[in-house]
């Protein structure tokens, strides 16, 4: 996006013609590590942004979060979050390395970092006082656990800790299991998407104003925003949400049910779908019961309804049940394992399984028809592009002088 006249082949940035996608020409310096930040910048790279991943001398911790490890010795975890980027090593505690960062920022559009609040300021890299003054078009995205201010401002935050603090664990699990962590780092994931959307809005705003701004993506905020509908239920009723296993607090039947050869998840949202269900499984008798006449009554009698449905599902295979119901417009699906989920033919049809040479990964869920994502480039090795980028920085500096 910084298509100024002094961009040349000596620039550390790729020419826009070398990148494809909606964000071709956008230049991103990625100082982030582990999950939320790298996920955000990987999505930017998938859609054409030139992302330079800056790692400290000890590297991104996710390189070590294995097994399993890839053939280069990096944890698969790291590979899941860093494809399509170029990599270099800088020690930002050192002045010379900070000067190299400044050289990158001269033509950068976006800087992404997830240090503890105050770290950038300690290094003389405050956005408001230094970076914005020097690079007025620069957008900085700061990702943190709690933000920089307030009662918890500046404290470290991790996904599972935020799941616990923000009530997510309290509504996950069964009455017998106790509070349970959600099986994926959902707070980190949502924060990565929050950062991604915030950066895109800031780029759109800059197109009109010419000015960059700071984007904040905070795990605490993202975690609380996930409490739909449980939070609003409590706000209106005063009744604290309970653990319901796979069931829904506001809808029935909306739960997992055992079939002949495994479990399925049935999602009934309205009376018309409930009628289709009863007709398809030959349980029209359920329609005659006043206790199942509406969603409110079904919710009140959810346990009795669950027993009736499950007793009927026991004679059906998962495949037959899902095929028959889905063809009639009743939402239902098998409760798959992770391998089963990825081996679905539709997962490949939607390009959600990526396999290129030795690289394996998940596809981009953000799809644009005119400028589709490119998920083929492997993640960088540690410091892989150090020499290339530093030589280009030095060459450009000589030309300026």
Given 188, 261, 320, 386, which residue is catalytic?
A: 188
Contacts of 238 (CB under 8 A, 6+ apart): none
Label residue 268 exposed, middle or buried (CB < 10 Å: 0-12, 13-18, 19+).
buried
Q: Calculate the alpha carbon distances from 215 to 176, 195, 212, 304 in Å.
A: 41, 7, 10, 49
Residue (of 45, 41, 43, 47) closest to 60 by Cα position = 41
Report how far residue 401's alpha carbon sits from residue 39's, in angstroms, rounded to the nearest whole number.
38
- Whether 91 is catalytic: no
Write b or e for each residue in 106-125: b if 16 or more Cβ atoms lie within 10 A of its Cβ, otherwise e. Answer: bbbbbbbbbbebeebeebeb
Q: Which H/E stretch holds residue 105?
A: helix 95-105
What separation in angstroms does the CA of 25 have from each of 14, 98, 131, 174, 286? 8, 24, 21, 49, 60
Contact 120, 195 (CB under 8 A): no
Place of tokens 């509406």: 294
Euclidean distance between CA atoms 352 and 262, whole angstroms: 25
Task: Give the list of residues 6+ apart from residue 200 with CB closer than 8 angstroms, or none.
Answer: none
- Please say whether the beta carbons of 353 and 57 come within 8 A: no
- Please tell me the distance from the alpha carbon of residue 238 to that of residue 368, in angstroms, as a whole number: 43
Catalytic sites, residue numbers? 188
């Amino acid at each position: 996006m910084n298509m100024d006249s002094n961009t040349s082949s000596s620039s550390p940035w790729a020419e826009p013609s070398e990148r494809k996608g909606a964000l071709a020409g956008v230049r991103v310096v990625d100082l982030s590590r582990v999950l939320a930040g790298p996920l955000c910048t990987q999505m930017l790279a998938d859609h054409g942004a030139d992302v330079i991943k800056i790692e400290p001398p000890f590297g991104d911790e996710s390189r070590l979060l294995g097994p399993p490890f890839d053939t280069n010795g990096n944890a698969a975890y790291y590979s899941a979050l860093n494809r399509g980027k170029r990599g270099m090593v800088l020690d930002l505690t050192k002045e010379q390395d900070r000067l190299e960062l400044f050289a990158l920022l001269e033509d950068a559009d976006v800087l992404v970092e997830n240090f503890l609040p105050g770290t950038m300021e300690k290094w003389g890299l405050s956005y408001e006082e230094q970076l914005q003054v020097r690079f007025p078009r620069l957008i900085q995205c700061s990702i943190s656990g709690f933000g920089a201010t307030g009662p918890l401002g500046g404290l470290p935050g991790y996904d599972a800790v935020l799941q616990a603090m923000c009530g997510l664990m309290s509504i996950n699990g069964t009455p017998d299991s106790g509070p349970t962590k959600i099986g994926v780092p959902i707070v980190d994931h949502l924060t990565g998407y929050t950062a991604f959307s915030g950066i895109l809005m800031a780029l759109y705003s800059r197109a009109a104003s010419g000015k960059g701004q700071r984007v904040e993506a905070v795990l605490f905020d993202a975690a609380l925003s996930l409490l739909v509908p449980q939070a609003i239920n409590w706000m209106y009723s005063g009744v604290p949400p309970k653990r319901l296993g796979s069931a829904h607090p506001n809808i029935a039947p909306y739960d997992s049910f055992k079939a002949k050869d495994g479990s399925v998840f049935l999602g009934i949202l309205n009376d018309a779908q409930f009628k289709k269900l009863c007709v398809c499984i030959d349980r029209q008798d359920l329609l005659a019961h006043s206790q199942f006449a509406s969603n409110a009554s079904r919710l009140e009698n959810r346990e009795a309804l669950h027993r009736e449905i499950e007793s009927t599902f026991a004679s059906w295979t998962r495949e037959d049940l899902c095929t028959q119901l889905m063809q009639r417009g009743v939402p239902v699906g098998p409760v798959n394992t992770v391998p089963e989920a990825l081996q679905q033919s539709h997962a490949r049809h939607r390009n959600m399984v990526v396999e290129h040479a030795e690289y394996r990964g998940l596809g981009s869920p953000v799809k644009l028809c005119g400028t589709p994502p490119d998920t083929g480039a492997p993640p960088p090795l540690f410091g892989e592009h150090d020499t290339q980028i530093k030589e280009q920085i030095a060459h450009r500096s000589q030309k300026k002088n």
